[in-house]
Amino acid sequence: MDSKPWKAWIAVATMAALVLGGCATAPAPTEQMAVSRAAMDDAISAGSTEYAPDEFRIAQQRLNAANEAFARREYRLARQLAEEAEVDARLAATKARSVKAQRAVAEVRESIRALKSELTRR
């Protein structure tokens, strides 16, 4: 019994499995899309639209592009864009909180300065 036909068949079957496996689509990134939307909501709550508008706009554009890619079933692209949108939204939220904190510190310093000035006048 010649084993060469079997070896050839196994090689063809293996190649077919690899090709078909490589063509398989990525799973829908529904979880990442939800995480990205939650990050956008957090950015809004942090005041990003006022204190980090450029970063927020970029995050919104990327999330919109991710939604469009998702609708076209381009799941790898949708995941990548959603991940980028999440990072951008977190940056916007962090920047907004930082700006608000810096302003609060400035107000406290001004209050301290005013109190010291008032004390020296007495």
Nearest to 97 by CA among 47, 23, 34: 47
Tokens standing for 2?
């010649």
In a domain, 1, yes or no: no
Number of domain units in the chain: 1
In a domain, 97, yes or no: yes
Q: Which residues have a Cβ under 8 Å from the Cβ of 77 and sit 6 or more positions away?
A: 66, 69
pTM of the predicted model, to two decimals?
Answer: 0.72
Q: Range of 35's domain?
A: 26-121
Find the CATH number of the domain harbouring 61: 1.20.1270.390
Q: Checking phi first, is residue 47 left (phi over 0); if not, alpha (psi -120 to 50) or beta?
A: left
* pLDDT tens digit sequence for 50-76: 999 999 999 999 999 999 999 999 999
Helices (H), 1-122: 4-23, 30-46, 48-51, 53-71, 75-121
For residue 25, name the pLDDT band (cuts at 50, 70, 90): confident
